[in-house]
Chains A and B, each alone.
Chain A
Amino acid sequence: MANPENNMRLVDPAVALQEIADAVPTACRKHVIIIGSLAAGYYYRDQLKGMAVRTKDADCLLSPRVAALKAGIAIAEELRDAGWEFKKTKGHKVPGTEDTPDAELPAVRLSPPGKIEWFIELLTVPESPGDRGPRWTRLKTKYGDFVLPSFRFLSLANLDPVATEMGISIARPEMMALANLLEHPEIKTDTMSGGFADRMDIKRSNKDLGRVLAIARLAMGRDEDALQSWPALWKTALQDRFPDEWRVLAGRAGQGLRVLLANEQEQDLEQALYTCANGLLASKKPTLTQLRITGGRLLQDAIKPLEAEARKRA
């Protein structure tokens, strides 16, 4: 069943990034890292061959954490000053007030003036490696109160981001892939709250693990052996971001993907395929078999070597 909130539009990653960069206060640009499909689409724009990606949101990670709150307020206010519009959702029709409990505050979601096809959402990194759960930090602006969400594995997305000529950065695709793998050690049953491209049954795990497969496919499109370089990068990243837990995390990085690929009835993999075909891989849609092979290659070239590293004695 279609949902008016989940109309995903074709967005040119370069155009969207430029629009965000132009709108963000100059002093804040260095704190903005774009993550998600726009970042991956921009990084692999040679693979997309000028095609747009289907997306509805541009996730802006504010980093470092110490600067995130100030940057978040400045960006939210400047964008609203420039006419960016508050994105209404089912649960949030208006921004919060100082009386709104933290748990009920909306995130900063703003659409460019006159364009409802996509919006930016502000996020930040966790405070420390031990910060396990999602956290919501209140953001008080002159346009109302919001929250700045942070999730545990977003700390991987701000590792050595790729600078763009627009002054903002994008997350490294392989780090986004690792964050998604770790976020989903199983196929959870919760579905995308706003649906995905006219489908309300898409599980978030399938969407995020599908993103991993899409990134892997784009990476191999550029360099057939690209995935072989990921285990070393992943190991370094995990050691840096989670020094006390990196072995455990590395050891379970492939759990969710294995479940996805082993699903005999293929409903989960079919959902992952749907998100790829209506997202990052819209310009060259793979078949189910091809996506399964991508998963097999990812396991072979990146995940198993990472697991082997985790098993080595310290």
Chain B
Amino acid sequence: MGLLLAWEAASRLGLWRAWVFPSPAAIGRSFWAGVVDGTIPRGILTSMRRLVVGYCISLVGGVSLGLLLARSRSLRESIGTVVTGLQALPSICWLPLALLWFGLSETAILFVVVAGSLLAITVATEAGVSNVPPLYVRAARTMGARGMTLYLRVILPAALPAILSGMRLGWTFAWRSLMAGELLFVSGGLGQLLATGRELGDMARVMAVMVAIVTLGLVTEVLIFQRLDARVREVWGTDRS
């Protein structure tokens, strides 16, 4: 709060030009205007829809691929290196190819989002599954668990703490990929609002969108991931160690 006041005061004193770095009040006005004329809610809706769809694809695909990699040695040897290599590639690098394959479409941007988050989840799942104590598997086998039951009821839950950290990472990667994609090619969403703000030289608007993005990030973090994390810690007792 004090920081905000200092920022506002400094802006009013004219320490820098307002159009380079707008004051909190200007950002607030711009944010409110965006909410009233519906551009910010519409942008949030469009972006969130893409994010959720892309992330769900990544989640299902990433966990499945991670399980397959952990299970099959030959698969690990053949595509394991590719996965590690591709993971180092910023997903926005896929955009030219995605545009060529899918055109200026929703699919292209979803592709970039999935490319950004899927492999983070894959790598975390594979590591989590490989680190499941063999004793759990042996015990489950003596109790009669086999095949899919063994994977779904024992190995996957045992790897859940690791998978969860991969999910968290995947979510932030998905966000970044989406914003980069939306900034680069115009098709609605918060990224486009940023781009138009830049074109109009309206930095208050740009920063108002940034505030919206930060808020969304905080909300999902607190409402979803921190809760899941707290639950896992409570069950596994990792708080106490």
Partners in one complex: no
Residues of B that sit less than 8 Å from A by CB: none
Chain A residues at the B interface, C-beta cutoff of 8 Å? none
